[in-house]
């Protein structure tokens, strides 16, 4: 039982390049989300999904796309990377059936855009 797995752990991109951050979970959690962590800003919600085929925007969605074709996977796509997207990205899930269950986080992807 791996929990929430994020790949890659580190990535360096040039401005304008595209890439996909992967998030996979084996806990059968319906809710999945992406946060970014920046110094002095805490964690901010980018996009989230309450189940396969359903996604919605969070606090800072611009420049990011998501899709949810399966319960297990929730990839985050950067179509044209910008230096402002340099950050640490966390995927998080919530276990179903219990009100106010806490988020389970992956170990993060550190992205640098030059």
Q: What is the DSSP string of 70-84?
A: SSSB--EEESS--GG
Q: Indicate the residue among 15 and 112 with the shorter CB distance to other proteins.
A: 112
Closest approach of Cβ 110 to other proteins, in Å?
9
Question: Binding of other proteins at residue 106 (CB under 8 A)?
Answer: yes
Question: Binding of other proteins at residue 13 (CB under 8 A)?
Answer: no
Task: Give counts: helices (H), strands (E), the chain.
Answer: 0, 11
Residues 81-100 that bind other proteins (CB under 8 A): 90, 92, 100
Convert 20-37 to b/e letters by CB count within 10 Å (16 or more is b).
ebbbbbeeebbbbbbbbe
Closest approach of Cβ 58 to other proteins, in Å?
6
Question: Binding of other proteins at residue 45 (CB under 8 A)?
Answer: yes
The one among 41, 54, 79, 82 contacting other proteins by CB under 8 A: 41
The CA distance from 114 to 106, in Å, is 25
């Amino acid at each position: 039982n791996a929990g929430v797995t994020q790949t890659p752990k580190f990535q360096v991109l040039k401005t304008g390049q595209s890439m996909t951050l992967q998030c996979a979970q084996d806990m059968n959690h319906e809710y999945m989300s992406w946060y970014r962590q920046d110094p002095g800003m805490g964690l901010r919600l980018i996009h989230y999904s309450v189940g396969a085929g359903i996604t919605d925007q969070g606090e800072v969605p611009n420049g990011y796309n998501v899709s949810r074709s399966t319960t297990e996977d929730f990839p985050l796509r950067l179509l044209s990377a910008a230096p402002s997207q340099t950050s640490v990205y966390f995927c998080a899930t919530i276990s179903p059936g219990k009100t106010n269950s806490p988020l389970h986080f992956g170990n993060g992807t550190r992205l640098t855009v030059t």
